[in-house]
């Protein structure tokens, strides 16, 4: 934001809509903030760039988009909501998730306080009035005492700088910017760049429809079997008897699920015992092989290799062409298992047995350029009708730094974090008073089930706002010392893991030039202990005035 003359400033103030709290983002976290803060008597407005609620589930409408956390863990724990809602599948697809958000919206009467199609572009803190002044792309201005950003971990798509990308004449879309009206892949020659979670999902759909599918893989995905199941209303009625306990357990676990990692180690067992455990987790499906596995898999390379080798054998057995074994499930792991987010798959490896599917290993034959009619690699030109960019996100920080947020030290948040993120508890940053972020950097975010974090971290933020309203001050921000302490804790944690060994978005390493650091706190239960201790000690580490 540029400095404004007094006259302009007064005119703008007059046209501003003013609230106690402006929340940004209508995903799980933002909707929860709106509902709970409104119930507690705060005046709240939620600003959302999309046309409907759902957050990532509004934007992610590419073929095959599906959540990889099982229900009912992937939903709100409010009984008034779950009692009347049933799912059709254990891992629901995007359309059903969208219907869930519409249901929540209607039940909680949320949309009356949401401005859709309203992308926040900038915000500046007014130190005289202790107010944030907020600008939007479409024009309306807002002001609020508190500015709560619930932009999620995947709000800024990453499109690599590929030579000639603009030359391609056919449809070319990033998965998160897929046309809302859909795009028919039937009978087309489709190229998918990227084999992360989104790529794996698109590939499974496209392989069934496309005349020819070319998969451009830089790093093989260590994908786990989803073990999808159809769910019946009767079965869910029985299951609902245990929902309360399961929801109560979520924040007591590592990743906010209804299960957590084992307390024994892989290396204390014989191979036979270990494999029996691995087989059980494999059959149970979902992310269990990752998040409910032996405690040393994330820390010890020998232990990690035992899990990787189990995965490799099971996976190779599904791929007919031996030449593809080394490409898709190599002998030497591309990175320690679990240091990049495993994707869930249903028939991903069988896809490579189809005649209409071809894998390009970019390590052997890199993309030289995109042309008007396809992609030229070091080997040949591949003619394509559609290009899918499943190339991920400027994850965790991008959603925040793409907004021009100016604090009290003359810097934007992007400038402040240019050399690395600094926060207290992953919730606030020095020099940005009354700015709070949920599911943000240095909080559990990408390591935690979204709805769990939305509720437990969300409740903590609501508690902080109530504390402030209770006559304790009008302005709050972390001390520089608290930020350094929190950063030190993050560094200590990451040093005890294998996470730095992968170029993952967890480490900020998927974006050229982004500082390499652990962006998420692993372990929601431990994280909430830190938050609780902070609040119990009068919001220790924050300066309140
Ligand atoms: P991811 O997991 O970041 O995957 C992005 C993929 O794109 C990954 O395979 C990358 O390869 C690939 N990529 C990125 N840049 C390039 C270039 N320049 N050339 C070729 N390939 C490239 O994003 P997703 O959207 O799949 O998933 C994000 C999260 O959503 C996921 O973790 C779940 O939590 C849900 P790389 O591995 O970097 O070699």
The domain segmentation of the chain, as residue ranges, is 17-53+114-156+423-544, 165-230+260-389
Closest residue CA from atom 16 of ligand 1: 391
Q: Which residue has the tokens 């409907």?
A: 52
Q: Which residue has the tokens 């067992």?
A: 269
> CA-CA distance, 400 to 403, in Å (whole number)?
6
Establish whether residue 199 lines the binding site of ligand 1, counting it when its CB lies within 6 angstroms of any ligand atom.
yes
**Which H or E run includes 185?**
none
Indicate the CATH number of 17-53+114-156+423-544 among 3.40.190.10, 3.50.50.60, 3.20.20.140, 3.40.50.720.
3.50.50.60
**335 Cβ closer than 6 Å to some ligand 1 atom:** no
| Residues forming beta bridges with residue 146, ordered by sequence position | 21
Residue 385 CA, distance from chain mean position: 30
The span from the CA of 147 to the CA of 536, in Å, is 23
Closest Cα partner for 119 from 174, 156, 146, 144? 156
Cβ-contact 216, 202 below 8 angstroms: no
Is the C-beta atom of 370 inside 6 A of ligand 1? no
Cα–Cα distance, 477 to 489 (Å, whole number)? 19
Which one-letter DSSP state was computed for residue 199? H
**Residue 197 in contact with ligand 1 by CB distance below 6 A:** yes
CB contact at 8 A, 148 and 141: no
Instruction: Look at the chain and count its residues.
Output: 545
| Distance in angstroms between the alpha carbons of the first and the last residue of the chain | 25
pLDDT at 15: 86
**Which neighbouring-strand residues pair with 284?**
none
Q: DSSP state, 240?
A: G
> Whose Cα sits closest to atom 23 in ligand 1?
392
Residue 436 CA to ligand 1 center (angstroms) comes to: 28
Which residue lies with its CA nearest to atom 32 of ligand 1? 341
Which of 447, 408, 448 minimizes the C-alpha distance to 430?
408
Say what the pLDDT of residue 390 is: 98
C-beta pairs of 350-353 under 8 Å, 24+ apart in sequence: 350/318, 351/203, 351/204, 351/207, 351/213, 352/319, 352/321, 352/324, 352/328, 353/319, 353/320, 353/321
What values do phi and psi take at 389, rounded to 5?
-100, 95
Q: Which atom of ligand 1 is nearest the CA belonging to 56?
A: 30
Contact 47, 171 (CB under 8 A): no
Ligand 1 centroid, distance to 198 Cα (angstroms):
8
Residues of the chain with confidence (pLDDT) below 70 = 1-14
Q: Is 195 in the pocket of ligand 1 (CB under 6 A)?
A: yes
Q: Give 399-426 as a DSSP string.
A: HHHTSEEE-SSS-BHHHHTTT----BTT
Helix, coil or strand: residue 122 = strand
Q: Is 363 exposed, middle or buried (0-12, 13-18, 19+ CB in 10 A)?
A: exposed
Angstrom distance (rounded) from CA 207 to CA 201: 10
- Distance in angstroms (rounded) separating the CA atoms of residues 60 and 66: 9
Q: Is 505 in the pocket of ligand 1 (CB under 6 A)?
A: yes
Give the C-alpha distances (Å, rounded to integers) separating 296 from 45, 101, 110, 305, 500.
45, 38, 44, 11, 16
For ligand 1, is residue 154 a contact (CB within 6 Å)?
Answer: yes
Mutate which of 162, 191, 192, 218 for ligand 1? The one with the most ligand atoms within 8 Å of its CB, which is 218
Q: Is 380 helix (H, G, I), strand (E, B) or coil?
A: coil
CB 431 within 8 A of CB 416: yes
Q: Give the position, in ligand 1's atom list, of the atom nearest the Cα of 161.
A: 18
Cβ atoms 192, 214 nearer than 8 A: yes
Say if ligand 1 is within 6 A of residue 341 CB: yes
Tell which one of 391, 394, 397, 399 to mutate to probe ligand 1, the residue whose CB is within 8 A of the most ligand atoms: 391
* Torsions phi, psi for 97 (to 5 deg): -65, -40
At a CB cut-off of 8 Å and minimum separation 6, what does 34 contact?
Answer: 23, 44, 46, 110, 113, 114
Quote the ligand 1 centre to 150 CA distance (angstroms): 22
Give the pLDDT score at 112. Answer: 98
What are the tokens at 405?
């947020």
Name the closest-CA residue to atom 3, ligand 1: 392
Residue 484 neighbours by CB distance under 10 Å: 13
154 Cα–ligand 1 center, Å: 12
Dihedral sign, CA of 539, 540, 542, 545? positive
**Closest residue CA from atom 30 of ligand 1:** 197
Atom 12 of ligand 1, residue of closest alpha carbon: 194
Best of 63, 510, 520 for a ligand 1 pocket test (most atoms within 8 Å of beta carbon) = 510
Our answer on whether the CB atom of 218 is closer than 6 Å to any ligand 1 atom is yes
Instruction: Answer whether the bond into residue 112 is a cis peptide, omega within 30°.
Output: no
Say what the pLDDT of residue 396 is: 98
CA 199 to ligand 1: nearest atom: 26
CA-derived radius of gyration, the chain: 24
| Alpha carbon of 223 to ligand 1 centroid (Å) | 13
Are the beta carbons of 28 and 454 closer than 8 angstroms?
A: yes
- Using alpha carbons, list the distances in angstroms from residue 353 to 139, 317, 319, 322, 350: 52, 12, 6, 11, 5
User: Does this model's pTM top 0.85?
Assistant: yes
Expressed in angstroms and rounded, the spacing between residue 173 Cα and the centre of ligand 1 is 14
């Amino acid at each position: 934001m540029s400095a404004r003359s007094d006259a302009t400033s007064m005119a703008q103030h007059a046209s501003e809509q003013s609230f106690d709290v402006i929340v940004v983002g209508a995903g799980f976290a933002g909707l929860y903030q709106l509902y709970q803060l409104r119930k507690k008597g705060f005046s709240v407005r939620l600003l959302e760039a999309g046309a409907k609620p759902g957050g990532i589930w509004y934007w992610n409408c590419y073929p095959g988009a599906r959540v990889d956390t099982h229900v009912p863990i992937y939903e709100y724990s409010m009984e008034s909501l779950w009692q009347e809602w049933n799912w059709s599948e254990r891992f629901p697809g995007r359309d059903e998730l969208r219907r869930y958000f519409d249901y929540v919206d209607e039940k909680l009467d949320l949309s009356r306080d949401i401005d859709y199609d309203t992308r926040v572009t900038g915000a500046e803190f007014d130190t005289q009035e202790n107010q944030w002044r907020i600008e939007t792309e479409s024009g309306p201005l807002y002001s609020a005492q508190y500015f709560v950003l619930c932009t999620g971990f995947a709000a800024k798509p990453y499109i690599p700088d590929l030579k000639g990308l603009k030359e391609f004449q056919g449809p070319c879309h990033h998965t998160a910017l897929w046309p809302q009206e859909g795009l028919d892949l039937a009978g087309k020659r489709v190229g998918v760049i990227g084999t992360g979670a989104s790529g794996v999902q698109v590939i499974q759909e496209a392989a069934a429809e496309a005349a020819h599918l070319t998969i451009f893989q830089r790093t093989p995905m260590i994908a786990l079997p989803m073990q999808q199941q159809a769910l019946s209303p009767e079965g869910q009625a029985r299951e609902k008897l245990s929902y309360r306990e399961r929801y109560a357990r979520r924040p007591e676990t590592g990743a906010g699920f209804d299960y957590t990692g084992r307390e024994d180690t892989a290396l204390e067992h014989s191979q036979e015992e270990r494999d029996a455990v691995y087989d059980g987790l494999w059959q149970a499906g979902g992310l269990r092989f990752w998040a409910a596995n032996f405690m040393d898999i994330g820390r010890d390379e020998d232990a990690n290799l035992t899990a990787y080798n189990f995965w490799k054998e099971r996976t190779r057995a599904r791929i007919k062409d031996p030449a593809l074994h080394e490409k898709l499930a190599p002998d030497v792991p591309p990175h320690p298992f679990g240091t990049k987010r495993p994707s869930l798959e249903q028939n991903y490896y069988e896809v490579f047995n189809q005649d209409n599917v071809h894998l390009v290993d970019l390590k052997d034959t890199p993309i030289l350029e995109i042309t008007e009619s396809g992609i030229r690699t070091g080997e040949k030109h591949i003619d394509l009708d559609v290009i899918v960019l499943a190339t991920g996100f400027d994850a965790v920080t991008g959603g925040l730094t793409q907004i021009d947020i100016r604090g009290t030290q003359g810097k934007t948040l992007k400038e402040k974090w240019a050399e690395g993120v600094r926060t207290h508890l992953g919730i606030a940053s020095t020099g940005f008073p009354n700015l709070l972020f949920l599911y943000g950097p240095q909080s559990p975010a990408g390591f935690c089930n979204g709805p769990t974090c939305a509720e437990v971290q969300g409740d903590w933020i609501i508690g902080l706002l109530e504390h402030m309203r209770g006559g304790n001050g009008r302005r709050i921000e972390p001390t520089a010392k608290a930020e350094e302490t929190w950063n030190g804790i993050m560094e200590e944690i990451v040093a005890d893991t294998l996470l730095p060994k992968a170029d993952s978005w967890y480490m900020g390493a998927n974006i050229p030039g982004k500082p390499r650091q652990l962006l998420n706190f692993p372990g929601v239960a431990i994280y909430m202990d830190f938050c609780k201790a902070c609040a119990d000690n009068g919001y220790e580490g924050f300066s309140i005035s």
